[in-house]
Amino acid sequence: MSPPGLSHSPLTLATNRLTSIASHIRTDAEKLKVIVLRDMGPDVMPLLYDRPELNVVMWPHDKACKRQWILENVPGASGILATIVDKIKAGPSLRVISTMSVGYEHIDVQTAAQRDIKVGYTPDVLTEAVADISVMLALMASRNGRQGIEFVGRGEWPHWAPYTLCGPQLSTNPITQTRTAGFIGFGRISQATLSRLIPFGFTNCIFTSSPTSKSNPQVEEELRKKFNLRSLRRGTLDDVARGSDVVFVLAPGGPQTYYIVNEDFLRKMKKTAVLVNTARGTLVDSDALAKALREGWIWGAGVDVVEGEPDVGIDHPLVKEPRCVIVPHIGSATNETRLTMASLAAKNLIAGLFNEPMPVPLQLNK
């Protein structure tokens, strides 16, 4: 699917391509072969097609690239342009792997490092889009948004009553004059999310960071001042669980954060608090979260990611909990951000192939 309103006309593209071909007649054998595992759309593909030095071989379907197609096409390829759903193992001719994603769990980076294959990825550009959806899910989880939408969808608009569909208020108010945001992981997305919460009246912030990073009280004090908070401090997981009105899970995936939100964590949270996960499904134990919602340990949850996605059926314990708002991994899914990611991935690939500095290289440990 190409994004609306941003595409060149097919005629322009065809003309550009013809001009390129005409002025640089080369045989495919003289060109660098790159395989593209997904059509990146009419605003991005010309970045590759318009380079006469490249022989671009693209998976032509609007669904995930088949393993067999990759195996057939990768021989002789110097570069691969991949997405988060493609498992990439470095072949012998390969010089550059570029992925349109912030994650790189799907790439065999160890082999890439050993063989001096350059890897590019697309972090940072999705910060604002993910911060947007983190706030959206915090609001939806507090305000019984899923139940509200489902009532109306079933033609069962509830009659007004003083406390029907009431939830905890995200913003401060005469009854609740403080609000604490908790973050598991406190990188760019967490800070962009925190900045959005300030006009809602948030007064305090607690976060955890990777155990290997050091606390920096001076930076924390600067952030506290910048956001005009009463307090901003690094704490333990327990501090975040016990002290927060909203907990945002925004740490990387992988074994070190596996089920960091488990039954123990959820039991320590406030009964009126909500949990938001816009990071990776593996950080949250889905069964424990479903139990927490069912038994009222916490008020609600909003998740963009679920362990095992996309295999999440109607019997999944979280799908069955009406207070769990679930959207299907659309954290970075805005036209602007996905276009920026795709075009950055194409630029990383080209720079890697032509031995120019990659806009955003992944630093590999050899």
| Sites for its own copies among residues 261-300 (CB under 8 A) | 271-272, 296
Are 302 and 325 in contact by the 8 Å Cβ rule? The answer is yes
Return the residue of 92, 217, 310, 357 that touches its own copies, per CB under 8 A: 310
Q: Output the smallest distance, CB 142 to its own copies, in A.
A: 8
Min separation Cβ 80 and its own copies, Å: 15
Does 228 participate in binding its own copies (rule CB under 8 A)? no
**Spatial CB neighbours of 45, under 8 Å, sequence gap ≥ 6:** 36, 39, 56, 58, 346
**Out of 55, 203, 209, 340, which residue is the one contacting its own copies (CB under 8 A)?**
340
Calpha distance 359→350 (Å, rounded)? 10
| CA–CA separation, 134 and 196 (whole Å) | 10
Q: By CB under 8 A, is residue 38 in contact with its own copies?
A: yes
The yes-or-no answer on residue 329 being catalytic is yes
Instruction: Please identify which residue in 160, 211, 255, 365 interacts with its own copies, judged by CB under 8 A.
Output: 160
Check binding of 128 to its own copies (CB under 8 A): yes
Q: Using the rule CB under 8 A, which residue among 15, 19, 173, 355 binds its own copies?
A: 173
Which span sits near its own copies by CB under 8 A: 145-153, 207-215, 217-225, 243-251?
145-153
Q: How many CB atoms lie within 10 A of CB 198?
A: 15
Using CB under 8 A as the binding rule, whether residue 45 contacts its own copies is answered as: no
- In angstroms, rounded to a whole number, what is the distance separating the alpha carbons of residues 328 and 281? 11
Q: Does 100 bind its own copies (CB under 8 A)?
A: yes
Using the rule CB under 8 A, is 46 a contact of its own copies? no
N residues, the chain: 366
326 sits near its own copies (criterion: CB under 8 A): yes
| Rounded Cα distance, 51 and 33, in Å | 11
Instruction: By CB under 8 A, name the one of 14, 18, 21, 330 that touches its own copies.
Output: 330
Peptide bond into 310 cis (omega under 30): yes
Q: Where are the beta strands (DSSP E) in 86-149?
A: 96-100, 118-120
- Residue numbers annotated as active site: 329
